[in-house]
């Protein structure tokens, strides 16, 4: 759906994005990750022509974006930024309706869509639709920003540090909602963050940048277990264990064992796709009262073995 070829951009003598190429299939989520100032935002903005590149091409559905009118292009691509950028004198509902209005959608259809989106994003319309942005918390404003980006149902959504301004707790819970949002499942998403955990939670693939250059493009698992260079290794070093817990699933950990267990395969409420991290959270949460056929100690032992298997496999 998106094909980026040899994209470069300088600001004066500063080469901010250097020869970046990637392809993204429909429905995939790509996270642009890297230290502050590495060129993530500039790269993202070249996708919807908020920044014009010096060289290289961007194709969306086979069409060169530089041959389209920027306004037309942007109406077909949802865009969410950290500062949210809601129109201060428009109500929540009016903010959400901006792009559908520009596109000339019928008022009744816009109203129905707005109601549905606000409901799904936990902003009951009867309470929030008529409020102004300044009456909302930061997290609520973020949700309105997301609803606005989704309003015209664009196939592509670009997000620039969408959870950046939030406290860690709100951030984690909005991220979870975001991951579970049905609306986004079918979308092609490009998301900028400098938060490693966020990248691992949301990405199908991660493009790790440093000083405008691609250091590695791959799945979280590939970046973690098969780092392309020292920069990649160092970038994840401090959070390596936490990321491994989020990357390996019960399916990875219990593969051989589960097959031979008399208790059967992975017990409910878990599935083979549950991450070790999530399983540990459930096991250690006494309120959840999960009755499982394995203990925390068994899980950690199996996790340790799985890590060894994984590292051996990549070495080969």
Ligand X SMILES: Nc1ncnc2c1ncn2[C@@H]1O[C@H](COP(=O)(O)OP(=O)(O)OP(=O)(O)O)[C@@H](O)[C@H]1O
Stretch that binds ligand X, among 31-39, 68-76, 98-106, 140-148 (CB under 6 A): 31-39
Distance between CA atoms of 166 and 179, rounded to whole angstroms?
17
- Minimal distance in Å, beta carbon 287 to ligand X? 37
> Taking Cα atoms as reference points, which of 66, 63, 61 lies closest to residue 7?
66
The answer to whether 38 contacts ligand X (rule: CB under 6 A) is yes
The answer to whether 314 contacts ligand X (rule: CB under 6 A) is no
The answer to whether 36 contacts ligand X (rule: CB under 6 A) is yes
Is residue 5 left, alpha or beta, with left meaning phi > 0 and alpha meaning psi from -120 to 50?
A: beta
- Minimal distance in Å, beta carbon 160 to ligand X? 8
Nearer to ligand X, 151 or 196 (CB): 196
Site string for ligand X, 189-228 (x = CB under 6 A): -----x----------------------------------
Distance between CA atoms of 195 and 263, rounded to whole angstroms?
39
Nearer to ligand X, 49 or 113 (CB): 49
Stretch that binds ligand X, among 30-38, 101-109, 122-130, 254-262 (CB under 6 A): 30-38
Stretch that binds ligand X, among 40-48, 108-116, 244-252, 263-271 (CB under 6 A): 40-48
The three-class DSSP label of residue 228 is: coil
Distance between CA atoms of 43 and 46, rounded to whole angstroms?
5
Distance between CA atoms of 217 and 215, rounded to whole angstroms?
7
Stretch that binds ligand X, among 33-41, 86-94, 130-138, 288-296 (CB under 6 A): 33-41
- Minimal distance in Å, beta carbon 48 to ligand X? 14
- Minimal distance in Å, beta carbon 236 to ligand X? 17
The answer to whether 75 contacts ligand X (rule: CB under 6 A) is no
Nearer to ligand X, 45 or 187 (CB): 45
The pair of structure tokens assigned to 108 is 């009744």
175 CB-near residues (< 8 Å, 6+ apart): 163, 198, 201, 202
The three-class DSSP label of residue 200 is: helix
In the region spanning residues 41 to 60, those forming contacts with ligand X, defined by CB under 6 A, are 41-42
In the region spanning residues 156 to 195, those forming contacts with ligand X, defined by CB under 6 A, are 194
In the region spanning residues 258 to 277, those forming contacts with ligand X, defined by CB under 6 A, are none
Nearer to ligand X, 193 or 247 (CB): 193
The pair of structure tokens assigned to 90 is 């428009």
Q: What is the DSSP letter of 35?
A: S
The answer to whether 37 contacts ligand X (rule: CB under 6 A) is yes
Distance between CA atoms of 266 and 187, rounded to whole angstroms?
31
Stretch that binds ligand X, among 34-42, 105-113, 199-207, 215-223 (CB under 6 A): 34-42
Nearer to ligand X, 34 or 220 (CB): 34
Q: What are phi and psi of 43, to 5 degrees?
A: -60, -45
> Taking Cα atoms as reference points, which of 11, 37, 38 lies closest to residue 207?
38
The answer to whether 118 contacts ligand X (rule: CB under 6 A) is no
Count CB-CB contacts under 10 A for residue 192.
Answer: 25
Q: How many CA atoms lie within 13 A of 186 on its CB side?
A: 6
Q: Which residues contribute to the site for ligand X (CB under 6 A)? A: 11, 16, 34, 36-42, 194
């Amino acid at each position: 759906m998106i094909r980026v070829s040899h994209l470069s951009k300088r600001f004066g003598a500063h080469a901010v994005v250097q020869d970046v190429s990637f392809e993204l299939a429909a429905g995939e989520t790509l996270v642009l990750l890297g230290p502050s100032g590495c060129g993530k935002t500039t790269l993202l903005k070249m996708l919807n022509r908020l920044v014009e590149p010096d060289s290289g091409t961007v194709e969306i559905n086979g069409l060169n974006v530089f041959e389209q009118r920027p306004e037309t292009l942007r109406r077909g691509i949802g865009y969410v930024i950290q500062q949210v950028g809601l129109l201060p004198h428009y109500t929540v509902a009016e903010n959400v309706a901006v792009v559908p209005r520009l596109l000339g959608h019928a008022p009744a259809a816009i109203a129905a869509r707005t109601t549905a989106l606000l409901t799904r994003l936990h902003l009951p319309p009867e309470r929030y639709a008529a409020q102004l942005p300044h009456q909302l918390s930061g997290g609520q404003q973020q949700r309105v920003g997301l609803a606005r980006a989704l309003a015209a149902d664009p196939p592509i959504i670009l997000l620039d540090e969408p959870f950046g301004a939030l406290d860690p707790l709100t951030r984690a819970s909005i991220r979870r909602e975001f991951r579970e949002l049905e609306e986004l499942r079918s979308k092609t998403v490009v998301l900028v963050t400098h938060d490693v955990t966020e990248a691992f939670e949301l990405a199908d693939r991660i493009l790790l940048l440093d000083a405008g250059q691609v250091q590695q493009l791959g799945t979280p698992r590939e970046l973690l277990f098969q780092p392309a260079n020292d920069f990649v290794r160092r970038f994840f070093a401090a959070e390596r264990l936490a990321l491994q817990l989020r990357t390996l699933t019960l399916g990875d950990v219990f593969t051989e064992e589960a097959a031979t267990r008399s208790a059967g395969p992975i017990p409910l409420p878990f599935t083979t796709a549950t991450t070790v991290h999530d399983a540990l959270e459930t096991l250690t949460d006494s309120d959840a009262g999960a009755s499982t056929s394995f203990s925390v100690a068994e899980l950690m032992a199996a996790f340790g073995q799985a890590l060894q298997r994984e590292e051996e496999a990549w070495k080969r």
